Structures are given as C-alpha cells and as structure tokens.
Amino acid sequence: MNGQEHWITKRTTQGDVRLFLWQKRAAPGVPKRGAILFVHGSSMASQPTFDLAVPGRAHSSAMDWFAERGFDTWTLDNEGYGRSDKKRPINFDISNGADDLEAASQFILEKTSQARLLLYGISSGALKAALFTQRHPERVARLTLDAFVWTGEGSPTLEQRKKRLAEFQSKNRRPIDRAFVRSIFDRDHPGTADDATIEAFASAILSLDDSVPTGTYVDMCSKLPLVDPEKIDVPTLILRGEYDGIAGIDDLLAFFRRLPHPDKQFSVMEGISHASFQQKNYLLVYHLLHGFYTQPAPVYRG
C-alpha cells in the first residue's frame, strides 16, 4: 500500500523540532475502525519496525495489515531517530519521546477527525506511550504496551545493560551496526525470528541511522519507574513475549493489578522474544491487537 509522509513541528525551549510522521490510510470499502499510532523502541526508527517489507513474508507490514482492515495507521520517528531532527545536544529520553507523541497526536486527531487514538508502543516506545497516556488520557481510546517494563525488576537484559550505564550516561548517542541488530534476536532465545526478516530489518534500520540516542537506555537502567499505573485510566492491553528478557512477568503483573480501568487484558505471546513484529509468530501479535482494538463497547456497566 502507498504511504504518505507528514512533517510536524514540536515547540521546545531550544527551538522548533521537525518530526517525521508516516501514514497509511484505511483501505476503501471496509468499515472504518479508527486511527492507530505505533511507537517504536530504543534502537530503530518507525518504518523498519511497523512497515517492513520482506519478500515471501506475507503481511510483513503491520501498517498494511491494519489498514486493509479499516484502520488509519500512523507512526513517527521520535526526535533523534530516522528522518526526524537530531540537532539538539540532548540524549532524547522517555519524557522527550512522550512530548513527541503529544505533538503527533494533536496533528493526527485533527487530520482524521477522530476523538481519540488507538495507541501501541513497544519496549521504550511502550514507556513513551504509557507516559503520554498518563499525561493525556483524553486523547487515548485504547492503549497497548508491548515488551513493557515498569520497575525493571526481574529483567536480565536490563541487569546486563546496567553494567554499561556510565558509558551511556557519558554521551548522547551510541553506535549501532548489523551485529547489534542481530543481537536483539539472539540474546533471549535464538530462533524466534528468521534470518531473512532479521537481515531486512537490519538493512532498513541502518539505511536511516548508524547511531541512536542513549536516553531511553539511561532511563530504563537508572530512573524506573517512570509511569504510575494508577494514573493510566484507559482500556489497556499488556503484551509480553514468552521469552522476553526485558519485560519481567512479575513486574508486569504488579503493574497490571494497579491499572484502575476495568477493561484491561494481559497476554503472553507463545514463542516470541522481544521484537514481536519481527518474530516468526508475528501474526499472533496482529490477532491480539485487532481483537483489542475492535472490541465492542459493553452493554452493561456496574
């Protein structure tokens, strides 16, 4: 499907910031289902994550799959990533990413005439999505947090990453290469993603960035928790890959119990590690999201 790029301006005390948004419109002739905003993680821009083309891999683009089913699909490059501005001398942390979502959501809601967005975030993108929802619940119809982390307890990946915290704190960007992208899929449970998808993913990431910000790593290693679940009063789905080394299951369940909205779901995705849309079982993710985003309103509320 053809996409359309948009450019928006985020106002900051250090000047205006240009952010890149990518849209794929709902397919004609199917019932309209609303607008989804997809939020990427720490080490890659938006299009490689949500609009990835892999020969022989049916429905590889999540944006296409949902657009074909009536959703207006959107994603953005957070500041410091991909096509968005990288000029400010900061490390582009979680809070700054939530600011990006504030600017993007206002643009999308005005453009689509929707009252609220369907929001999906993965890994540090889930933290950005959760923090944005905490700040602006009136803009979010339904929230999905994939590979989310609350306090960081029970996360072997974060325990290893903390050993390099001083290095991450000493600079605003860290280099990435093909070997690093492959390590995302090897660190938890090798075999959950196929080589062709990993290579296509790496090529797409590296065509846009040879380094990425350190801010999300610093936050996840030293500043958790960043989100108060009791202030996220919207319908929420938490997704956790069976083998994910970031999202400790007890940590997530403690967060889940504190969510105040009665419409909340928790799903463990079999055979999936961290980057769920690039896994062999990616269609499980689509199925769970589609069910949550098309769930009918309850007839009775107590």
pLDDT tens track for 31-45: 999 999 999 999 999
Residue 140 pLDDT grade (very low, low, confident, very high; cuts 50, 70, 90): very high
Averaged pLDDT for residues 146-153: 98
- Rounded to whole angstroms, how far apart are CA atoms 71 and 67? 5
Enumerate the β-bridge partners of residue 35: 72
Q: pLDDT higher for 82 or 1?
A: 82
Check residue 155 and give its pLDDT: 96
- Rounded to whole angstroms, how far apart are CA atoms 25 and 31? 13
Check residue 135 and give its pLDDT: 98
Check residue 101 and give its pLDDT: 98
Enumerate the β-bridge partners of residue 145: 121, 238
- Rounded to whole angstroms, how far apart are CA atoms 198 and 69? 26
Could you give all domains of the chain from N- to C-terminal order, each with its CATH number?
4-293 (3.40.50.1820)
Token pair in block for residue 180: 């690093």
Check residue 302 and give its pLDDT: 84
pLDDT at 288 over 90: yes
Q: How far is CA 242 from CA 13, 187, 247, 249, 270, in A?
A: 42, 14, 10, 9, 5
Contacts of 88-93 with C-beta under 8 Å, sequence gap 24+, read 88/12, 88/14, 88/15, 88/17, 89/172, 90/172, 90/215, 91/171, 91/172, 91/173, 91/213, 91/214, 91/215, 91/218, 92/172, 92/213, 92/215, 92/216, 93/213, 93/215, 93/216, 93/218, 93/219
pLDDT over 90 percentage in the chain: 99
What phi and psi, each to the nearest 5 degrees, are found at residue 167? -65, -45
Q: Please give the sequence-ordered ranges of beta strands (E in DSSP) within 104-164, or none if there are none.
A: 117-122, 140-146
Query: Are the C-beta atoms of 5 and 22 separated by less than 8 Å?
Result: yes
- DSSP code at position 89: S
Check residue 1 and give its pLDDT: 85
- DSSP code at position 243: T
Check residue 131 and give its pLDDT: 98
What 3-state DSSP class applies to 269? strand
| Cis ω before 225 (30° cut-off from 0) | yes
pLDDT, the chain, mean: 97
pLDDT at 205 over 90: yes
pLDDT, tens digit, 9 for 90 and up, residues 232-264: 999 999 999 999 999 999 999 999 999 999 999
Burial (CB count <10 Å: 0-12, 13-18, 19+), residue 282: buried
Averaged pLDDT for residues 174-202: 97
- Rounded to whole angstroms, how far apart are CA atoms 217 and 162? 9
Whether pTM > 0.85 for this model: the answer is: yes
* CA contacts within 13 A on the Cβ side of 114: 25
- Rounded to whole angstroms, how far apart are CA atoms 121 and 97? 11
